[in-house]
Amino acid sequence: QVQVVESGGGLVQPGGSLRVSCAASGRSVSINFSSWYRQAPGNERELVATIASGGDTTYGDSVKGRFTISRDNAKNTVYLQMDNLKPEDTALYYCLLKIRRAGSIMSRDYWGQGTQVTVSS
């Protein structure tokens, strides 16, 4: 019954900024690990950023220094702040949440529906 909803995509100019959100709904949700992926037509899916439950983050080389992943535990929401956007950042962005429900030991994967980010002048 967990639902993951993405929002915040859109059209921005090169050099602009955008923040996409990934919100998990449902009771007794615990997000253990979060990731952002992106995929452009004809390209393979690319891991963009991750954030662990303790706050440790990783970034793909192509976005390092420009993107920031963060989490608001109270809102069960993960964010990806994208600065200095480039045309090659254009892609469909997906979040992946590893969520543990109350009463469960193991986490399960939940994908967002994807949000389109287009960088063009």
Coil, strand or helix at 41: coil
Q: What is the pLDDT of residue 101?
A: 83
Q: What is the pLDDT of residue 40?
A: 96
State how far the Cα of 84 lies from the Cα of 12, in Å rounded to an integer: 10
Reference 98, options 48, 5, 24, 1; nearest CA is 24
Q: What is the pLDDT of residue 57?
A: 98
State how far the Cα of 75 lies from the Cα of 68, in Å rounded to an integer: 18
Q: What is the pLDDT of residue 102?
A: 82
Q: What is the pLDDT of residue 108?
A: 92
> What does the pLDDT profile of the chain (121 residues) look like in tens digits?
789 999 999 999 999 999 999 999 988 888 889 999 999 999 999 999 999 999 999 999 999 999 999 999 889 999 999 999 999 999 999 999 999 888 888 899 999 999 999 999 9
